[in-house]
Structure 1
């Protein structure tokens, strides 16, 4: 089973910011058991996707250190179309993310990545 959403578009805003248009396919690995009668995308998966796509599109580097200002504001369900906005601040290892659809925010926050010394 697939674990990543379908990317339908990528728009770079300079070297340190990108917006990915995503389709959260109903057949993703997470939906059959979370929850059978009301499937929703777990918050930890949203964090994992932000880190994954930050590394792939913005070359974000480092190991997970902590989360700051994480907010889950709306439920993401199968078939949802979302824009994932990412901004990478290499100087302090901060990856800002927001999952949105038009003006509605589903989740947002900052993942801090630390480079091992």
Structure 2
């Protein structure tokens, strides 16, 4: 089963606050453990710049509208993500519980299964 593990944004991440060296070292150790366990997919873990650096494209039929960031509601935004291969959702949850806190304060990580070919058969 493949899952996308999403680090939700916070006011700190949206303000551009970078992690400390210690936090980066903790996350690097966690990522190495994921690779060693065969869970982290190649190129599958990234941090994202604040939404102020981003754009959205809104679709309405043939019309396209470009919306400049920043976007409201930081907790609804994505600050980073991984792509993992796990046996089941319980394994994904167990790994997320081992993750160092990705933000200086309270934070959330969301786990979403990817559609697989067999889902469309």
TM-score range, shorter chain: 0.3 to 0.5
Using CA pairs under 8 Å that are at least 6 residues apart, name the structure with larger relative contact order, 1 or 2.
2
TM-score by length of 1: 0.33
TM-score by length of 2: 0.32
More strand by percentage: 1
More helix by percentage: 2
